[in-house]
Structure 1
Amino acid sequence: MLITELGYFALLTAFVLALLQVILPTIGVIRNQVAWQRLAPSLAWAQFAAMITSFGALIAGFYYNDFLSLEATDSAIEALSRAYRLSPDNEEIATTYAQISFFANKVSLMPVAAVYYKMSLPKIHSMKVRRC
């Protein structure tokens, strides 16, 4: 079941509706178009419905433990560890590898600290101290 994806989509929809709720009535006031000004309450109710849908879907996803992205962590960690071994100087790969291993190891800080230590140690030694 893709309950959490429905929740994220509803949240994105609420965000777009919030932007429209600000922009369209403002343009209606500037151009003196009453029909655009009257869109504000309808957009507010639509935004409220999208937020309630998002909240309900995300709570249901949490209750049913429907976070499918956590199932792909083993293969993602393996792929990122290979990529990190091939190019250890790439900060984006190292950061992504550290974040995924952080959450995959049930928020254990040891693998993350080791990756950041390996990544930042050469930079620290190569820095020059500037004195003012």
Structure 2
Amino acid sequence: MAFKSALILSLVAITSIAQAGREIPVNSGRTIRQQVDSYAELMEKEVAAAKNNRERFRALDRVEDQIIALRENAVTQTAQDEAYMDLMLAVIDSIPAEKDFHKKDCARYEADMLNQFDPTADEGPSEPAVKPGWNALQSLCK
């Protein structure tokens, strides 16, 4: 009977997550950071391959949501990995929303990103967690 109750509660939880529009991450045996890096690579490829900024913003938002969902459903990682993933999400989140984005302001967006997240960098980020957001911004500014 306890097994049956636990199964029902699990199904209710899965259904409520699915109804909330969140994906349920599948454990692939890789660390959460490795999975986040895979999502970041996917984002970079999709943003670079998109035909216009509307598609780029959709890819950016979708992958950001996937990373957030993955982290919400995962156990806490090492402090170093948590800091890395927090930084990556902060960089992505710093990109202006589609309605607020103006190509004429790209130089300011780039300077702000580097100043805030990788202040010792010269022309581009040296911090690995900053690069996916930087590359997405570069694609949006083309």
TM-score by length of 1: 0.32
Higher helix share: 1
